[in-house]
Amino acid sequence: MSEEMIKIDNVTYEYSSIGEDSQLMAVKDVSISVKKGEYLVILGHNGSGKSTLAKLMNGLLLPTKGNVYVNNMNTKDESKIWNIRETAGMVFQNPDNQIVATIVEEDVAFGPENQGVSPLEIRKRVDEALRIVEMTEYKKHAPHLLSGGQKQRVAIAGILAMEPECIILDEPTAMLDPTGRTEIMSTIKKLNKEEKKTIVHITHFMDEAVEADRILVMERGEIVMEGTPRHIFRQVEKVKNLGLDVPQVTELAYELRKEGINIPIDILTIEELVKAL
């Protein structure tokens, strides 16, 4: 039994029709492996290739070169594509694009119904998925009346009801307000820590990356940094040179150090900064 949930093996992806920009849009010879139970964050600004990588991970795109394996299944194997998408569920930026039904619980039931799951089992899965994302009291509501964060939690519940082992979230908070972002972040943490799901979270919000086990930073289709949040964010200059920020509290610690105040370089949370000061 492999401990790898996703293995990306020398993968290149090129968009063919965009003319001169085609190289910018591509993923270039990337190899990564995501362990079962890991919480991986992929950072990079727009056009860095991170969303393309997400779509390669569950077979929405197929590599131009190289191979992608999800739980040992090659995404190029057409006979396995449903198994792959059941194993690695995908949550997108815009929850409105993922919600299909007019009532929350029917929306969550949509995936397992398509999987041919029995009605009794669907009922169980829907209740459980809504419990995990803390949306049980909204199960009879119309999704379009919910807030952005609530809609995104319903979209996540819809994926959970299909019982994937891995959840890939492609900028799930990009369209949300701060409250919605907080809701989704606490949901993602819970999925990883309590439900033991493998998480691949793609974002350009640095503060969201602090919780990860490991961070990959992408730039122009390549992985340019890799390591724990502490390891990545202590390299403030390097991160900024890639056009990215560091978490606010790391930034503050960095500025204080420049002023000659002796505090550690790898501070990630407000608590750590308070303690150091």
Neighbours of 178 (CB within 10 A): 9
Comparing 45-49, 220-224, 251-255, the range with the smallest average pLDDT is 45-49
Average pLDDT over residues 99-123: 94
Q: Does 98 or 2 have the greater pLDDT score?
A: 98
d(C-alpha 242, C-alpha 240), whole Å: 5
Residue 276, pLDDT score: 87
Angle value at C-alpha 200, between 199 and 201, nearest 5 degrees: 105
DSSP 8-state assignment for residue 23: G
Q: Is the pLDDT of residue 1 over 80?
A: no
d(C-alpha 98, C-alpha 90), whole Å: 10
pLDDT, one tens digit per residue, over 156-193 is: 999 999 999 999 999 999 999 999 999 999 999 999 99
pLDDT, one tens digit per residue, over 52-86 is: 999 999 899 999 999 999 999 999 999 999 999 99
pLDDT, one tens digit per residue, over 6-34 is: 999 999 998 866 555 544 447 999 999 99
Average pLDDT over residues 104-130: 95
Place 2 in a pLDDT band, splitting at 50, 70 and 90. Answer: low
Residue 47, pLDDT score: 82
Mean pLDDT value across the chain: 92
Residue 114, amino acid: N
Q: Which CATH superfamily is domain 4-226 in?
A: P-loop containing nucleotide triphosphate hydrolases (3.40.50.300)
Who's near 237: CB < 8 A, 6+ residues apart? none
Residue 52, pLDDT score: 92
Q: In what order do the strands lie in the sheet with 73-74?
A: 27-35, 4-13, 65-70, 73-74
